[in-house]
């Protein structure tokens, strides 16, 4: 265990005195895997460095945005150029329609887009709009899908199918989630039943078309089409939350990959290139209901911020001009995921994996993981041992079993080779306990 941790440990102490848990987003505290979170001081390409000088190959990509890797020159230059002209105006700047046009070009069914500052705001606003448009109250979401931390979306499934959701956080009154229905993912029958029980009352279904937030879980064959059919049948809206999958799985996101078109799309992460951005998009008929054109209120002091727009624009334009990157990332991720799985098998460790494009999870579980019920059977203790051993070996994975990992365009074959070698060592530790 040669890794130095003194500086990070000091910083964590200092942070804990003034920030709850020392972190500004809970999973960063490493509570789900044990061990101590390194403080990161620098990133370049596929690598990051912590306050003690340790170097890691990393598969977090800031939880998704950094598809071009850390400090991608195109993005850094664009942000510097924008910053020189001023950091914020609270008035419109030319980068806003420019990014809007490029993003919309990737999603043929979406005609207009509104930029906000986070994925949380994007989904919250999209649901407000869906409720206004349909004049209905109920929202269907799926267990294990995460759509940010708005009250009505922080909901766990109640027991049984098509029952009312229960608040997933203290501080959320039951009344605030009474119109949220939480159903199992990949179960079209449950959605059909809910729509029969609440006929004419469901405003929208919101779904991660490929789930990243219970670990990577792809949709079963025909599942997204079933959601499309059931929502259309009852004049409800279908919202694809592509905050993670947009520009990740393909230039046109999961809707391009699976060929199912939602009514609204929420975006974030990659379209901000590592700066804070979210967005929601849909047909003009819907989007024109948003203020100032319509009665649905939604605003933001820093929305459309020029630095965020410039980083997003640099990232998305780079992807548009280099679409072969998707094939390359997919092949590299495929090699990585299967070779690590083989190493696990050789070490006698039970894992199963899911991967779509450059997004993946190794579940310490037996059998296929298709929803929260199967994902939650994972051996999180074993994952924690694996995570800590990988960190020691210089590989930084998402610090929870229930988060997707990402390979970026900056990862090389050598990165993959080193990661597989590290995993081989790590599985020996996992097995030994
Ligand atoms: C990350 C994420 C969000 C929340 O975005 P924030 O910017 O963290 O608020 C919402 N939905 C999905 C699918 C996400 O992956």
DSSP 123-184: HHHHHHHHHHHHT--EEEEETT----S-GGG-EE--SSTTPBPEESSTT--GGGGTTEEEE-
Residue 158, pLDDT above cutoff 70: no
pLDDT (0 to 100) of residue 431: 75
Phi and psi at 13, nearest 5°, equal: -60, -50
Which of 26, 122, 243 most suits a substitution to test ligand 1, by most atoms within 8 Å of the C-beta?
243
- Distance (Å, whole) CA 142 – CA 194: 12
Catalytic residues: 146, 241, 269
* pTM for this predicted structure: 0.97
Which band of pLDDT confidence, cut at 50, 70 and 90, is reported for residue 35? confident
When pLDDT is averaged across residues 2-27 and rounded to a whole number, the result is 96
CA 354, 396, 33: angle at the middle one, nearest 5? 75
CATH topology of domain 73-321: 3.40.640
Burial class (CB in 10 A: 0-12, 13-18, 19+), 104: middle
Which of 215, 240, 244, 268 most suits a substitution to test ligand 1, by most atoms within 8 Å of the C-beta?
268
Percent of the chain with pLDDT over 90: 94
pLDDT (0 to 100) of residue 281: 98
pLDDT (0 to 100) of residue 166: 78
Name the one residue in this structure whose structure tokens are 């942070």.
Answer: 15
From the alpha carbon of 119, which atom of ligand 1 is closest? 5
- Distance (Å, whole) CA 99 – CA 95: 6
- Distance (Å, whole) CA 65 – CA 312: 9
SS3 letters for 216-285? Answer: CECCCCCHHHHHHHHHHHCCCEEEEECCCCECCCECCHHHHHHCCCCCEEEEEHHHHECECCEEEEECHH
From the CA of 65, how far away is ligand 1's center (Å)?
10
The Cα-based distances of 292 to 111, 260, 264, 287 in angstroms read 17, 31, 19, 11
Which of 64, 65, 146, 271 most suits a substitution to test ligand 1, by most atoms within 8 Å of the C-beta?
146
What residue ranges of the chain are covered by domains with CATH 3.40.640.10?
Answer: 73-321
pLDDT (0 to 100) of residue 46: 98
| Residue 175 burial (CB count, 10 A) | 9
pLDDT (0 to 100) of residue 164: 65
pLDDT (0 to 100) of residue 180: 96
When pLDDT is averaged across residues 159-185 and rounded to a whole number, the result is 83
Closest C-alpha to 258, from 214, 228, 215: 228
> Where does 6-60+324-431 sit in CATH, by number?
3.90.1150.10
Percent of the chain with pLDDT over 70: 97
pLDDT (0 to 100) of residue 159: 55
When pLDDT is averaged across residues 357-373 and rounded to a whole number, the result is 96
From the CA of 280, how far away is ligand 1's center (Å)?
12
When pLDDT is averaged across residues 114-121 and rounded to a whole number, the result is 98
pLDDT (0 to 100) of residue 433: 57
- Distance (Å, whole) CA 335 – CA 423: 13
From the CA of 146, how far away is ligand 1's center (Å)?
7
Which of 206, 213, 240 most suits a substitution to test ligand 1, by most atoms within 8 Å of the C-beta?
213
From the alpha carbon of 269, which atom of ligand 1 is closest? 7
- Distance (Å, whole) CA 121 – CA 416: 35
Residue 197 is inside which H or E element, if any?
helix 188-197
From the CA of 97, how far away is ligand 1's center (Å)?
23
Which band of pLDDT confidence, cut at 50, 70 and 90, is reported for residue 160? low
State pLDDT tens for residues 48-96. 999 999 999 999 999 999 999 999 999 999 999 999 999 999 999 999 9
Which residue minimizes the CA distance to atom 15 of ligand 1? 244
- Distance (Å, whole) CA 241 – CA 313: 20
From the CA of 387, how far away is ligand 1's center (Å)?
23
Residue 31 is inside which H or E element, if any?
none
Which residue minimizes the CA distance to atom 11 of ligand 1? 147
From the alpha carbon of 121, which atom of ligand 1 is closest? 9
What residue ranges of the chain are covered by domains with CATH 3.90.1150.10?
Answer: 6-60+324-431
From the CA of 77, how far away is ligand 1's center (Å)?
26
From the alpha carbon of 118, which atom of ligand 1 is closest? 7
From the CA of 141, how far away is ligand 1's center (Å)?
14
Ligand 1 binding pocket (C-beta < 6 A) is 118-120, 123, 146-148, 208, 212-213, 241, 243-244, 268, 278
Closest C-alpha to 357, from 281, 241, 279, 256: 256
């Amino acid at each position: 265990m040669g890794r130095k941790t003194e500086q990070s440990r000091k910083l964590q102490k200092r942070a804990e005195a003034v920030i709850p848990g020392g972190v500004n987003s809970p999973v960063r505290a490493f509570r789900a895997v044990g061990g101590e979170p390194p403080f990161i001081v620098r990133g370049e390409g596929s690598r990051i460095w912590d306050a003690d000088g340790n170097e890691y190959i990393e598969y977090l990509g800031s939880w998704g945005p950094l598809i071009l890797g850390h400090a991608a020159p195109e993005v850094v230059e664009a942000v510097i150029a924008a910053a020189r002209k001023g950091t914020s105006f609270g008035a419109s700047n030319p980068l806003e329609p420019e990014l809007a046009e490029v993003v919309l070009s990737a999603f043929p069914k979406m005609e207009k887009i509104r930029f906000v500052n986070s994925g949380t705001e994007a989904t919250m606003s999209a649901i407000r709009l869906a409720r206004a448009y349909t004049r209905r109250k109920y929202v269907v979401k799926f267990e294990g899908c995460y759509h940010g931390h708005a009250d009505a979306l922080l909901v766990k499934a109640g027991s049984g199918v098509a029952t009312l959701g229960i608040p997933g956080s203290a501080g959320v009154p039951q009344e605030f989630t009474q119109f949220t229905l939480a159903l199992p993912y990949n179960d079209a029958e449950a959605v059909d039943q809910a729509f029969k029980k609440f006929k004419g009352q469901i405003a929208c279904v919101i779904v991660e078309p490929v789930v990243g937030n219970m670990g990577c879980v792809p949709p079963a064959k025909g599942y997204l089409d079933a959601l499309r059919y059931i929502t259309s049948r009852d004049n409800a809206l279908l919202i694809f939350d592509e905050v993670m999958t947009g520009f990740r799985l393909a230039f046109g996101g999961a809707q391009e990959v699976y060929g199912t078109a939602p009514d609204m799309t929420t975006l974030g992460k990659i379209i901000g290139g590592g700066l804070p951005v979210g967005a929601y998009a849909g047909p003009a008929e819907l989007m024109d209901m948003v203020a100032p054109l319509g009665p649905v209120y939604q605003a933001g002091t820093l929305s459309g911020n020029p630095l965020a727009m410039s980083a997003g624009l640099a990232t998305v334009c780079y992807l548009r001009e280099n679409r072969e990157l998707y094939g390359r990332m997919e092949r590299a991720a495929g090699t990585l995921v299967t070779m690590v799985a083989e190493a696990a098998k050789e070490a006698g460790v039970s894992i199963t994996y899911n991967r779509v494009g450059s997004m993946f999870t190794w579940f310490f579980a037996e059998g296929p993981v298709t929803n929260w019920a199967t994902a939650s059977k994972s051996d999180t203790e074993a994952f924690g041992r694996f995570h800590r051993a990988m960190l020691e070996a210089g590989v930084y994975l998402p610090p929870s079993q229930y988060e997707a990992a990402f390979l970026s365009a900056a990862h090389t074959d050598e990165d993959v080779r080193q990661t597989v070698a590290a995993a081989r060592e790590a599985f020996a530790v996992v097995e030994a306990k």
